[in-house]
């Protein structure tokens, strides 16, 4: 209950304070490439329930038809504005809407697409999906440059499923077992520090 209250109040505050940023980013995306401002995609949330995540669009409209559901190296599907937004994680800001409505939390395991959740080990799936997914988590911080790592692989999806995902899931399980409001605050501050460096 305390975590949900913290999430709700922080999301309301964040959306109010960052509204000018939302407007500027929206105008930039619209001017940079044709298509919608937001990118909506099905993700798996708490208890396996799916929801449509909010993100600022950083790729061409046909991106999912033109490649994988993961970003690899210098992905040519990414727009000019998208490159900047991704670098500073500004594309994630609209997920405050998802936090507000209760689909997500500020901190928690990053929500994955059904395609990859399907290959989670059963015991791990139960743990990771027992909490609301988050905008940030320890795995996001540790694997902030994940796309560069995958870009160096001859088979990016195989590397993601067999190497990156298991490591991230281990960190997610660690978070679920030790979660607290204090840990959430520490991870939020750590995320901000990682973005600014």
Question: Given this model, what pLDDT does residue 77 score?
Answer: 85
Contacts 24+ apart (CB under 8 A), 51-56: 51/98, 51/103, 51/111, 53/95, 53/98, 53/103, 53/104, 53/111, 54/94, 54/95, 54/97, 54/98, 55/91, 55/92, 55/94, 55/95, 56/25, 56/26, 56/29, 56/85, 56/90, 56/91, 56/93, 56/94
Give the start-to-end residue ranges of the domains of the chain. 2-196
pTM (two decimals): 0.89
pLDDT exceeds cutoff 70 at 149: yes
- Poorest-confidence range of 3-7, 38-42, 52-56, 153-157? 153-157
């Amino acid at each position: 209950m305390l975590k949900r209250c913290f999430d709700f109040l922080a999301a309301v505050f964040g959306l109010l304070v960052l509204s000018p940023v939302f407007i500027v980013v929206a105008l930039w995306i619209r001017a940079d490439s044709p298509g919608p401002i937001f990118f909506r995609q099905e993700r798996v949330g708490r208890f396996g329930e799916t929801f449509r995540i909010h993100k600022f669009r950083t790729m061409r409209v046909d991106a999912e038809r033109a490649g994988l559901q993961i970003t690899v190296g210098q992905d040519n599907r990414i727009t000019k504005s998208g490159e900047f937004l991704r670098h500073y994680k500004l594309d994630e800001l609209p997920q405050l809407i998802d936090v507000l409505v209760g689909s997500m939390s500020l901190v928690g395991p990053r929500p994955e697409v059904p395609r990859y959740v399907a290959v989670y080990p059963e015991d791990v799936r139960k743990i990771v999906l027992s909490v609301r997914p988050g905008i940030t988590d320890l795995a996001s911080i540790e694997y902030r440059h994940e796309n560069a790592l995958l870009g160096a692989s001859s088979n990016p999806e195989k590397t993601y499923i067999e190497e990156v995902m298991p490591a991230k899931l281990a960190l997610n399980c660690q978070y679920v077992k030790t979660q607290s409001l204090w840990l959430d605050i520490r991870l939020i501050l750590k995320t901000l520090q990682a973005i600014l460096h």
